Amino acid sequence: MGRSELERLSCEELIELVLRLQRPEKTSRTSSKPPATDRKEQRVHSKPGGAKPGHECHSRVLSDDPDTLVEHRPEACACCGGVLPGDLCAEIVSVSERVELPAVAPIVTQHRRLAIRCPTCGTRVIAPAPEAARGTPFGPRLHAVATYLKTFQALSYERLQAALSDLFGLTLSQGGLMNLLRRAQGCFRPGRDAAIALLRRAEVVACDETGVRIEGSSAYHWLFHSADAVVHTPSPTRGAVVVREMMDGHRPAVWLSDRYTAQQGHAAEHQTCLAHLARDVAYAVEVSDDPVPWRLQLWLGSVFALAERVTHLAAATLSAKRRSLDRQLGAFLATQSRCDLTRELQAKISRARDQLLVFLAYPGKVEPTNNGSERLLRPAAVQRKVTNGYRAMWAAEGEAAIRTVVDTARLTGANTFGTILKTVGA
């Protein structure tokens, strides 16, 4: 805005402009920005890390089946110096362990085809080509290790090449690694299709997305999940067409997401993420001295407290509490305010008012926040920051298929690497 434009502003407009410029920047507490973007001075004055008072102490669990057991017995009495025979009864005073990794070297099986001259007719007979000579020379465990390190430890091709060389003595070119990973990714397509089939039968579906670079262009990593399935998928667009293609006509009872427009209208009811709303309210409380945001913050605190015990209350009680909370919210929204932040907040809440307390009608099935989706998306966001995205769409689609199969299996307690090995070796 230039000087001439500023001179045309009224006194009231200038005051409003100055107040806007004096507002503090948004932080991870008052917006969806990650904590790493907070200013250093804010992090210095933040609460210290580590265990908090009252936190239950945890220690490493000892092995139930150790490979070697060594008993240390006293040989002489510390008091009189008498010899203590080995057949005396002893009690265990303490147990400690030392854990070590064995040296790992690749197992190379070399197959040689032999030719033999028939002594009867003189024909030169060659052995048929073994199965090992067909296709890749690398076994399923090597495929699984490379897939695990590339996908879930976010190693680049260069770092993966170095890790395999330093840890296992394997020399592979980056092109060979790319072909290896592409073969492994193909094994996850049936599992991805099965997860999508489960998603399309779900009663409750939650969804979120995050930005990613694919082939040098801005794209999106989408996530859909239900009680039985987790589905990752890349797309060049953030539009609602991605949701429609994924659900293929299925309309769940409830859809859980943020207030983004493309996420709306895909189910009979919609639960808006209250964590996003709470951050907006926290920013308004921090910036403004208007009482409405503060009252909304107290209202959200009551909602979150109710959510913690929602499965322990009767349906009639939940219904009554929902009506009470809705009346309180209506009073907040009807309150007149001169603060523009408050008015914007009231407008946001008014548009999503019927989507804030839907979880009370589905105790234990619908969460009040979409934090579950954000937790499932976090590894993909870390991968994006470490590797800066994907060079090709096939790589993005293949990794999404791997994450789909692994995250779906983890819903039943399956191990990440075990799931990869089982899928690749199937």
Asked if residue 13 has pLDDT above 80, the reply is: no
* Average pLDDT estimate for 119-148: 89
**pLDDT tens by residue, 224-277:** 999 999 999 999 999 999 999 999 999 999 999 998 999 999 999 999 999 999
* Average pLDDT estimate for 371-395: 91
- Specify the pLDDT at position 36: 61
- Specify the pLDDT at position 288: 81
Question: Which has the minimum average pLDDT: 52-61, 134-143, 169-178, 394-403?
Answer: 52-61
Burial label for 73, CB within 10 Å (0-12, 13-18, 19+), is exposed
Residue 33 binned pLDDT confidence (cut-offs 50, 70, 90): low
**pLDDT tens by residue, 340-376:** 888 989 999 999 999 999 999 999 999 999 999 999 9
- Specify the pLDDT at position 37: 62
Asked if residue 40 has pLDDT above 90, the reply is: no
* Average pLDDT estimate for 375-400: 91
**pLDDT tens by residue, 87-128:** 889 899 988 888 888 888 888 888 999 999 999 998 999 999
- Specify the pLDDT at position 275: 93
- Specify the pLDDT at position 218: 93
* Average pLDDT estimate for 147-157: 92
CA 394 – CA 311 distance, rounded (Å): 43
CA distances from residue 423 to 15, 105, 176, 406 in whole angstroms, order as listed: 64, 23, 21, 9
CA distances from residue 304 to 154, 197, 263, 325, 356 in whole angstroms, order as listed: 35, 33, 23, 12, 11
Burial label for 288, CB within 10 Å (0-12, 13-18, 19+), is buried
* Average pLDDT estimate for 132-153: 89
Cβ-proximal residues to 383 (8 Å cutoff; 6+ apart), any chain: 151, 154, 399
Instruction: Map tokens 């189910």 to a residue.
Output: 267
- Specify the pLDDT at position 340: 86
CA 108 – CA 100 distance, rounded (Å): 24
- Specify the pLDDT at position 35: 65
CA 146 – CA 130 distance, rounded (Å): 25
What percent of the chain is modeled with pLDDT above 90?
61
For the chain, what is the mean pLDDT? 88
Asked if residue 29 has pLDDT above 80, the reply is: no
- Specify the pLDDT at position 39: 61
- Specify the pLDDT at position 22: 57
- Specify the pLDDT at position 365: 94
Asked if residue 306 has pLDDT above 90, the reply is: yes
- Specify the pLDDT at position 244: 96
Asked if residue 200 has pLDDT above 80, the reply is: yes
- Specify the pLDDT at position 191: 96
* Average pLDDT estimate for 10-37: 65
CA distances from residue 288 to 20, 22, 309 in whole angstroms, order as listed: 11, 11, 32
* Average pLDDT estimate for 18-44: 62
* Average pLDDT estimate for 137-146: 92
Asked if residue 1 has pLDDT above 80, the reply is: no
